[in-house]
Structure 1
């Protein structure tokens, strides 16, 4: 096989696992917003599920800050890294 064919096959196989961005109802969005506020206020451990790069990802940690101007949360994970997740990409939040 030629290198071009191999690249094309790799891209095609990777696209098989792409997930379209989930569409949330207004109730789901309100539940997420309420949970974000509660977790931020009490510095609770959370698991945030979000959509990015055509995949569903999960982060666990503590919400350091809700930034309404940037429309994102700042979440510190167990390793101490600060992660940023846009409001529009959050699909679920679970308070531990």
Structure 2
């Protein structure tokens, strides 16, 4: 599979079409993989963690739950994404 096919497959799995496919490509590129951009996806990853936390806190608030469980859930999501990371050829 080439890079474009991998991105299409990720969108199919997520059941979501990105308006800007470069965001998906950047999000799946490890830091250091792109010699011109050593930081890789660190900024997107930081935003993603904050968005997940916001969504979980909002959901807990709506359900009158405890947002204190958010850090544990984010850790689980992070470990899942590491175990199931999508490998794209460089």
Larger C-alpha radius of gyration, 1 or 2?
A: 1
Greater helix fraction, Structure 1 or Structure 2: 2
Greater strand fraction, Structure 1 or Structure 2: 1
On whether the aligned pair clears a TM of 0.5, the verdict is: no
